[in-house]
Amino acid sequence: MVREFSKEALKELEGIINQFPNAKSSLMMVMRFAEKEFGYIDAETCQYIASLLNLSPAYVYGNLNFYFHFNREFHGKYRIMVCCTLMCHMKGAGDIVSYLEKKLGIKVGERTHDGKFSLEKVECLGACHKSPMMQINDKDYYDLTNDKIDEILDKLE
């Protein structure tokens, strides 16, 4: 099933594109708009966006693969991103990842069977003074311990 923007969404999209000097430079924000409307971006979405902006589908797909932060079809309802760069690494980020793998029964890069959680190791999220930490969707969680992780995940519906 091809996903398309509603009439209202297309209007909003026009407003976004008009901020930019040309259609191509609106691409990052158009992809974010698609991410919000559809929940995630996949190859088909790239084809659709390309048709709206008069770009090649391969070009848009190239962007999708370069920028890891866009939500993809293989991510979970809750995307758990654990920072593993040096400053968190030296405060035990590795143990946090191991605990999450054990607790969720998946490995980094995978998604739970029910599609609820996916797990990723990511680079510095700019909260090194509250390490180790993780971001789940659009929220940050700091000073992690195993108990805190239990508490956080239990609260997510």
Partner 1 sequence: MFEPYLTKDWTKENSHRIDFYLKQGGYKDAIDKLFKMNPSEVTELVMASGLRGRGGAGFSTGLKWNFVPKNTDKPVYLAVNADESEPGTFKDRYIIENTPHLLIEGIIITAYAINCNTAFIYIRGEFHEGYKKLEKAIQEAKDKGYLGNKIFGKDKKLDIVLIRGAGAYICGEETALLSSIEGSRGNPKLKPPFPAVEGLFSCPTIINNVETIANLPFILTRGVDWFKSMGTEKSPGGKLFCLSGHINNPGVYELELGTPIMDIINNYGDGVWRNKKFKAIIPGGISAPVIPFEECKDLKMDFESVAAKGSMLGSGAITVLDQDMDMLSVSRNIIKFFHHESCGQCTPCREGMGWLDKILKRIDKGNGRMQDLNLIEEICHNMLGRTICVLADAGALPILGILKHYRHELEAKIKDSNK
Per CB under 8 A, residues contacting partner 1 are 19-22, 24-29, 31-32, 55, 62-63, 66-70, 84-87, 89-91, 122-131, 135, 138-139
CA-based R_g, the chain, Å: 18
The least distance separating partner 1 from the CB of residue 140, rounded to whole angstroms, comes to: 8
Q: What residues form DSSP beta bridges with 140?
A: 135
Structure tokens at 75: 């991510």
The least distance separating partner 1 from the CB of residue 119, rounded to whole angstroms, comes to: 16
The least distance separating partner 1 from the CB of residue 147, rounded to whole angstroms, comes to: 20
The least distance separating partner 1 from the CB of residue 14, rounded to whole angstroms, comes to: 15
Round to whole Å and give the CA distance between 98 and 102. 6
Question: Which CB, 21 or 157, lies closer to partner 1?
Answer: 21
The least distance separating partner 1 from the CB of residue 89, rounded to whole angstroms, comes to: 5
Structure tokens at 110: 């995978």
Round to whole Å and give the CA distance between 143 and 157. 22
Question: Which CB, 29 or 153, lies closer to partner 1?
Answer: 29
Q: Are residues 25 and 16 in contact, defined by beta-carbon separation less than 8 angstroms?
A: no
Structure tokens at 145: 């311990």
Question: Which CB, 8 or 126, lies closer to partner 1?
Answer: 126
Question: Which CB, 28 or 105, lies closer to partner 1?
Answer: 28
Question: Which CB, 65 or 102, lies closer to partner 1?
Answer: 65
Mapping DSSP onto H, E and C, the string for 36-69 reads HHHCCECHHHHHHHHHHHCCCHHHHHHHHHHCCC
